[in-house]
Structure 1
Amino acid sequence: MKRKATAVWNGSGKEGNGNLTTQSTVLQKTQYSFNSRFAEGVGTNPEELIAAAHAGCFTMKLSFVLGDAGFTPEQLSTDCLITFENGVITESHLVLTAKVPGISVEKFNECTTDAKLNCPISILLNTSITLDASLV
């Protein structure tokens, strides 16, 4: 499987602007700029997209890990906070709230650790990955 995205940039780094388009067209010439990346401007930015990718990948991987362990999650909800400092992503922090009927805390922790270490985006990222997981 291969997936494609395209970035187009016009102008200088600070005054210019660009757009992002994904193969699925979920992003279709979606705006990004210096202000959307480093301030609070309108549009997306690479770090926000990495956060979405990591949250989505981890959550789906956890669903598979739980299934392999004999559990069907009722709901998994993951926030991801990417820390970008001095031009480097220094951390990806995952915060999970999960409702998984019948699972013990020990088994839940085992499954979340497996998903954190083995989801494809975790493997791709060369940074500290932390996880706060709550079973409700």
Structure 2
Amino acid sequence: MVNTSDFSKRLQKVLDFYGVSATAFSEEIDFNRSTISHLLSGRNKPSLEFVMKVLQKYPEVELYWLLNGKGSFPSEKKITSAPLQKLDKKEIIDIPSNFSEVKTTTSEKQIERIVVFYRDGSFKAYEN
């Protein structure tokens, strides 16, 4: 069972972490502002739809942490890598000791425009 006062504290922690207001948060997850207000005040318990939208929009939020306070926020997902393989001497290539010997190629392409998209749906375009 979800403890509403503890849930509201965790929800506030999510808002603080992302630096968004309750209004901006409600717009980002497409929920009514009044619903967010009631959740933050502890008046209502979260619906499944609300929890799923939060998890979709904010992948750093863990389900069990949000509902029960167990786990961590932001999530500490461990990155696993493949085990290292030993190389034969035949597979090792010589790297030139003088890096000026390395040829660099230049591209004739030029950047025309860079577009930055923000989480609130707005964007900014920079043109050359």
Same-fold call, TM > 0.5?
A: no
| TM-score, length-scaled by structure 2 | 0.26
Which one has the largest radius of gyration? 2
| TM-score, length-scaled by structure 1 | 0.25
Structure with more helix by fraction: 2
